[in-house]
Structure 1
Amino acid sequence: MNDLPVRIRPAEMDDLDAVVSIHTAACAAAGAEPDAVGGLLARFNGWARAIQLPGKTTLIAEADGEVVGVLSMESDAPGTALELSQIHVRPGQWRRGIGGRLHAAYVQSLQETGVLTGLAGVWEHNDRARAFYARLGWRPDGTVETNGDGLRRLRLRLEV
């Protein structure tokens, strides 16, 4: 691992293009099909909501002035589990400590709000993501959801 100096900050709407680019590239590198135009539009709209809506927090990782990672979290109600909705790092920056720094900011948010349980979902076939979460102490809680394409998403839990 080659750690970079990374700055973590709240996302702004000016970051939207970079966030969608990172998410799209990370999904493609993990083997997801390229987005059709409608899928890309949905991705833009989803990230715009994650950046703007109350109850949602989106963090950016910057290295050398470039956005290289993004994390989104949300809570349905104050004092309940804080869900790590998404975490993505630009594929050329994998294994450089960026995802770990974003995750540390998420854990700090848990601690600051007094919420001691984190939830996340991970696609069963995404071995890289599953290993990342396992290294950080996340464990499957037994909940499995299957999407319309038959892909299974495992729910993970982190106790802080």
Structure 2
Amino acid sequence: MARPDVHLAQPDDAAEIARIQRETWRTAYGDIVGDDAIAALDDPGTQQRWAEAIEHPDTDVFVATEGGVPVGFTVSGQAPEDELADANGELPADSAHTGLIATLLVEPRWGRRGHGGRLLAAAARALRSRGARRAVTWVSESDSATLAFYRSVGWDPDGTVRTLDTGGTHIREMRLAGGLELYLES
């Protein structure tokens, strides 16, 4: 197996991040997000939005590679209040110290090689360096593989759910929360 690695994304990684998102959504999430959301990823602005995310000072974007080939990415940062509030709009006491894993994607053909764990570990280190003590993420209730991945590192549903309208379908997501003391191989 070629050497796996994770690095902090640079602006020239934006095209590959956009490609990974497009390919992963088409392959693994087509039935979940719907045709309209997938078609929107073909917009030339997608790459520019990823370049902006990479350069945003409050966001960390990491890219996983295998043998120099980009195979996955993750985005993390301070969790916005609307990502942390419960159904009544109440914020947890530790909201100032809670990060968000906004996305973590590995192309399915590169799955089960530890890339997701390495990406999550890198994001956890970055969040800890920013003062976070825990983090949250959102996962579709029908995405059993991603749910199993997060549960394997001790992240569990916290009881909060939301429904997203993708323009063609509705996705019911549950919020998972977990600690950042992850010492996975990176």
Same fold (TM over 0.5): yes
Identity %: 28
**Residue 8 in structure 1 maps to residue 10 in structure 2:** no
* Other-structure match for 1:147: 164
**Would the aligned equivalents of 1:30 and 1:126 in 2 still touch at CA under 8 Å?**
no
Q: What is the TM-score when the length of structure 2 is the normalising length? A: 0.75
Question: By how many angstroms is 1:124 displaced?
Answer: 1.0
TM-superposed deviation, 1:113: 3.0
Cα separation, partners in 2 of 1:151 and 1:106, compared to 1, 3 Å: same
**Bigger radius of gyration among the two:** 2
Q: For 1:73-152, what aligned pairs fall within 5 Å after superposition?
A: 73-76=76-79, 79-148=96-165, 149-152=169-172
Number of equivalenced pairs: 157
Alpha-carbon displacement from aligned partner over 1:48-94 (angstroms, at most 9, x marks no partner)? 33212121110011221111110101215795311000111122110
Note the residue ranges of structure 1 that are not aligned, 5 or more in a row: none
From 29, 40, 43, the counterpart of 2:42 = 40
Instruction: Tell me which moved more, 7-16 or 38-47.
Output: 38-47
| Structure 2 gap segments, 5+ residues each | 81-94, 181-186
Alpha-carbon distance, 1:43 to partner: 3.6
Please state how far the C-alpha of 1:109 moved relative to its aligned partner: 2.0
Partner of 1:71: 74
